[in-house]
Copies of this chain bind each other. A is one copy, B any other.
Amino acid sequence: MNVHIVYAHHEPTSFTSAMKNLAVQVLSSQGHIVSVSDLWGQGFSATAQKWDFITTSGGHFNYMLEQKHAAKLDLAFSPDIIAEIQKVKESELVLLVSPIWWFSVPAILKGWFDRVLAMGVAWDSGKIYEKGSFRGKQAMLIMAAGGPAEYYQENGRHKATPVQILHPINHGTLAFCGFDVHEPYVALNVLGAGNDGRAQMLKDLQYRLENLTKSPNWLVKY
């Protein structure tokens, strides 16, 4: 398989970086071709701008409709967006490796959703969910969070499980574009877990990654 990893952390010694390195290692050793977009490392721009398009339609500026316009003009996007679109198009599996900040991804990865998963490219009018443009591809979130595990329950302090917290991404973003979405791997309480705890988390993630293509465990099917 072609596997593309979108990695969002600024610190090479972080636990998120360790999860990304493990994913590269496990999937490469299985013979997959693995590429990585290091969003912080490559200075990926998070903010949707008019100059994301080579030309604009000339009407009232609506970012989504300009995406559709650019897609029709043989991908008339800025080069950084085209590069990311091509990587996703060439992939059969996309892994998003990131911390959880404010019950979501850091802005730099949210900006990757906003700018790369463009109307006319990843989805279109009438082409969402089971008709999304990326149907047949797989995606999976691999994330690290702070805070004790007992907070992440419907009757806990966060009033939601990790899967509920990630619904806007797993369902509203990835499944919306047609991806088959794997159950996310979420490491909780990473700061508090200690070295032994973090080592065990990486072992658990390794097991998930080693068996990802053998026995896919979808979160959702649409």
**Cβ B173 vs Cβ A103 within 8 A:** yes
Q: How far is the CA of A159 from the CA of B129 in the complex (A)?
A: 12
Interface-located stretch among A80-88, A160-168, A209-217: A160-168
Number of identical protomers: 2
Closest to A9 in B: B63
Task: Indicate whether A104 reaches chain B with its CB closer than 8 angstroms.
Answer: yes
**Cβ B103 vs Cβ A146 within 8 A:** no
**Cβ B114 vs Cβ A167 within 8 A:** no
- The residues of A with any CB-CB pair to B shorter than 8 Å are 10-11, 13-14, 40, 46-50, 60-64, 101-108, 110-111, 113-114, 117, 128-129, 146, 157-160, 164-165, 167-169, 171-173, 176, 191
CB-defined A-B contacts under 8 Å, sample of 21: A10-B48, A10-B61, A11-B62, A14-B62, A46-B47, A46-B107, A47-B106, A48-B107, A62-B191, A101-B114, A102-B113, A103-B169, A104-B110, A104-B168, A106-B110, A107-B111, A107-B113, A107-B114, A110-B110, A159-B171, A160-B171
